[in-house]
Each structure stands twice: as structure tokens, then as C-alpha cells.
Amino acid sequence: MRVLPLLAAFLLSATGTIAAQVPMPVPRPDRAKAAPAPVARIAPPARPAERRVPQASGPARSDLTPDDENEDDAPCTDLLASGIAEVEVNASISGRSGDALCGDVAPVRITAVLLEGGGKVELRPAAVARCEMAHEFAKWVREDLSRSVRPMNSGLKRIEIAASYHCRPRNNIAGARLSEHGLANAIDVGALVLDNNQRIAIVDPEAPQYLFAEMRLSTCKRFTTVLGPGSDAAHHDHVHLDLAKRRGGYRMCQWSHAEWLIP
């Protein structure tokens, strides 16, 4: 009966050999440790909506809505649509005065102001200014100045322009801040010429003082800067008008003669 123990020993040895030859499966890794940490994905910032730009070959601004139009174009649109002045749109002007840059992207050359009921007032020489300044000047001539000369029994024929766009410092003083003339934002009046050819210079001592008084009142209502005789030596012979924007809406009105009685 020794056969059974021998057979059992043989089977046990064979089973061990077979088990050693068969590879065991690799233990599964711990998911909690092996799983990579989730990576937060940050969405890229939204791109701003692009503005539509009209092509030069297409109709001028016909494909734009009012919201698309550049606000800087409004003064020129208003001026040209008003039909109260003879103007030419100039190419951009630029220059340098010291460290400051001069010029404007789309100034106009205004040659005359058209009056109510017909007729026009010539500007000699023509004034070069940005659209907003040119428009306000034209309205002043048409609505205020032309009426101020009526008591003189003659209409207004011409305005002598002492200065308009000029890339220079204030009062032509080297090192001074840039003048509003350098920004095409100022026009200087030197004299008026009536239909009867009477010339009234700003410094004319025989000129009717009520005319200058009314001019002062109307210009100081419309423009943010008025500098004339009595303000300083640089403005003793003309009236400087501009639309400078100052902090707090500050305005400057300096134009007087000793003989005036200003209300």
C-alpha cells in the first residue's frame, strides 16, 4: 500500500512545478493613489466684438449704424450738414512744438459764412481749424456778429483773420505749453469790414464801443477762451477765440477797454 503515498507525493510535486511556471496576474493599483489630480481648465477671456470699419472703396459710411460711427466725426457731420459755411475738408495736419505734437486728423478750411436770408461773410485769409471750432465760429458769425453790426446801417462783408492753425507754443514763447492754435482749436479776429467798406480794427479807438461790448458778450457765451485787448500784450490788437477744455469746465473771458461800460 506504499503506492498511494508515493502517488500523492508525485502529484504534489508536479502541482508546485506547474504553479511556478504559470505567471500570476499583477495586483491592481490603488485607484485613489494612481488617479492623477484633475486639472482645472480656465476658459480663455472673451474677445471684444470687433468694430466694423468701412472700406475705402465702398460708399462712405453707408454700411454703418449710428452706434458704429466714431463720435469724433460728429462735429464735421454737423458742420457740413448745416450748410452755413463754405468749407473744404483738408488732409490731416501735424507738427511738433518742442515736445508737444500739433495738428488734427481732419481739419477744415473755412472761407466764408453764409448768412440768413442770403449773402455771405468772407474770411480773409481762410481759417484752418478742427470741425468743432469751425462750426462754432460759423454759428457765431451768422447768429451773433452779423446782427451786432446792424445798428451801423451796413451789413458785414468780411472778417480779417489774424491767425488760425499754427504749430507753436502759447504767445510764441519758447518752452511754453502748446497753444490751442497748434491743435487747430483757435481762431483770431483782427478786424471787420462792412458792406460800405468801412474797416473796424479791434484796436480802432474810434470804433463804436457798443459793438465790441456786444462781441465780448456773445463770444464769451460760445467759446471757452476769449482773449482780447486788456488781457495781455500778446492780444492787444486782436481777439483770440478757442474751445479749450479745462478741468471743472473753467472758462476764460478777458477782453476789455477802459472806455467800456460792460453790464
User: What gap in Å lies between CA 169 and CA 185, rounded to an integer?
Assistant: 13
**Cβ neighbours for 227, distance < 8 A, ≥ 6 positions apart:** 234, 235, 239, 240, 252, 254, 255
**Is the distance from CB of 126 to CB of 110 less than 8 angstroms?**
yes
The answer, yes or no, to whether residue 75 has pLDDT greater than 60, is yes
Question: What digits encode the pLDDT tens for the residues 173-222?
Answer: 887 789 999 999 999 999 999 999 999 999 988 888 899 999 999 999 99
pLDDT band at 149 (very low <50, low <70, confident <90, very high): very high
Query: In which band, very low, low, confident or very high, does the pLDDT at 49 lie, cut at 50, 70 and 90?
Result: very low
pLDDT of residue 245: 94
DSSP-assigned states of every residue in 230-245:
TT-GGGSSSEEEE---
Q: Is pLDDT larger for residue 28 or for residue 172?
A: 172
85 has pLDDT over 80: yes
Q: What integer pLDDT is reported at residue 215 of this predicted model?
A: 96
For 153, other C-beta atoms within 10 Å of its C-beta total: 9
Contact between 111 and 86 under an 8 Å Cβ cutoff? The reply is yes
**If you average pLDDT over residues 237-262, what whole number do you get?**
84
> How many angstroms separate the Cα of 21 from the Cα of each of 7, 8, 9, 14, 15?
21, 20, 19, 11, 10
The pLDDT of residue 205 is: 85
How confident is the model over 145-158, as a mean pLDDT? Answer: 95
Max avg pLDDT among 18-22, 24-28, 65-69, 129-133: 129-133
pLDDT at 30: 52
The pLDDT of residue 24: 52
| Preceding peptide of 5 cis, ω within 30° | no
Q: What is the mean pLDDT of residues 144-156?
A: 95
pLDDT bucket at 97, cuts 50 / 70 / 90: confident
Per-residue model confidence (pLDDT) at position 27:
53
